């Protein structure tokens, strides 16, 4: 009888241990390497959704095409990896996920244990769908910049779709979605800032699936939370435009920590945008790393601060803010 009682006691004890009490990889802090350690595996042109393209702005004549990303993976068996999604620049007119400097960043991070994702997104000449409110507001923009301004909206929508794709495929790539960084350069930084700070529904729910059927291909059932933002010579112009058009609230003290790098003589994205972001972050008490590159122009990829490259500065910032384990 005692043996039977003991058996049922142990059985009931086992049954009471629900999955909520069992640690999962998502509960564990990822470990990354301080030096380049792993070979890097690359999966190119992975489709993360579809984008709608109009013949002219919001015209009835449309086509769809695949939105693609490249994913760089450490060649290891680790089941608990942080992720870094990077967005290329190009003024919302050009650029590519295969930009040389981005590939260098991808190999830097993937060889140290991150899953690094570089995305393409719709550009000006793709004529992505824009809400009528965004179109109306474009009358406030200089005429020569209207097409570029309209391109901001679908670019943001696509970046958010890529983040949702990453979450939807986290198990496939052993990603811990609690440790997600988004970054970019120039237009990519503008997009990264907005993706990291805006609400999940922003740049998503202003257009319905009936207006843009390609929305249904973008993992709308998924959500994400960005933990750190890497801003390379960007600004908050997209976020501020959304605030002005839709009356949303952009910044608050719960926003992700941000690292800002910006040339003080940038002729393309004014250095004042970096100063404005710095002031906003300081007023809200949000962690910030700020690196003004004295005399630097636009796209100062090769800059160093105290003998550290930008990749190394971002590495230190992400590790500190996410409290990653470094081996």
Provide the percentage of residues in the chain whose pLDDT is more than 70. Answer: 92
Residue 5 in this model has a pLDDT that exceeds 60: no
Band of pLDDT at residue 89, cut at 50, 70 and 90 = very high
Residue 9 in this model has a pLDDT that exceeds 50: no
∠165-47-71 over CA atoms, to 5°? 75
Burial string for 89-105 (b: 16+ CB within 10 Å, else e) reads bbbbeebebebebbbeb
User: What distance lies between CA 45 and its chain's CA centroid?
Assistant: 18
Neighbours of 5 (CB within 10 A): 9
Q: Which of 246, 225, 233 is CA-nearest to residue 87?
A: 233
Q: What DSSP string describes 153-179?
A: HHHHHHHHHHHHHHHHTTTTTTEEEEE
Complete domains list, the chain, with CATH: 2-326 (3.40.50.1820)
Q: What is the pLDDT, as a whole number, of residue 250? A: 87
Mean pLDDT of the chain: 93
Q: What is the pLDDT, as a whole number, of residue 301? A: 98
Q: Which residue has the higher pLDDT, 26 or 157?
A: 157
pTM recorded for the entire structure = 0.92
Residue 238 in this model has a pLDDT that exceeds 70: yes
Alpha-carbon gap, residue 4 to 154, rounded angstroms: 65
């Amino acid at each position: 009888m005692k043996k039977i009682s003991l058996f049922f006691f142990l059985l009931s004890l086992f049954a009471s241990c629900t999955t909520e009490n069992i640690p999962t990889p998502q509960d564990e802090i990822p470990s990354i390497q301080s030096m380049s350690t792993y070979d890097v595996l690359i999966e190119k042109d992975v489709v993360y959704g579809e984008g709608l393209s109009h013949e002219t702005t919001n015209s009835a004549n449309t086509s769809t095409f695949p939105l693609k990303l490249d994913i760089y993976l450490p060649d290891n068996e680790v089941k608990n990896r942080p992720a870094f999604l990077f967005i290329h620049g190009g003024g919302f007119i050009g650029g590519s996920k295969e930009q040389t400097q981005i590939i260098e960043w991808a190999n830097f991070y993937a060889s140290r244990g991150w899953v690094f994702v570089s995305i393409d997104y719709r550009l000006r000449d793709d004529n992505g769908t824009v809400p009528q409110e965004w179109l109306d507001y474009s009358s406030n923009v200089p005429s020569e910049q209207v097409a570029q301004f309209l391109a901001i909206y679908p670019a943001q929508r696509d970046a958010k779709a890529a983040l949702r794709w990453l979450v939807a495929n986290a198990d496939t790539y052993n990603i811990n979605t609690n440790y997600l960084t988004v970054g970019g350069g120039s237009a990519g930084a503008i997009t990264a800032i907005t993706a990291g700070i805006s609400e999940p529904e922003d740049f998503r729910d202003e257009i319905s699936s009936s207006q843009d059927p390609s929305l249904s291909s973008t993992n709308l059932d998924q959500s994400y939370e960005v933990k750190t933002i890497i801003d390379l010579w960007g600004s908050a112009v997209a976020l501020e435009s959304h605030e002005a058009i839709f009356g949303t609230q952009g910044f608050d003290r719960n926003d992700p920590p941000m690292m800002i790098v910006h040339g003080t003589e940038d002729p393309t994205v004014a250095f004042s945008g970096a100063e404005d972001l710095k002031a906003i972050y300081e007023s809200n008490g949000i962690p910030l790393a700020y690196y003004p590159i004295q005399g630097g122009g636009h796209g100062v990829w090769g800059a160093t601060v105290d003998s550290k490259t930008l990749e190394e500065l971002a590495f230190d910032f992400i590790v500190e803010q996410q409290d990653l384990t470094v081996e």
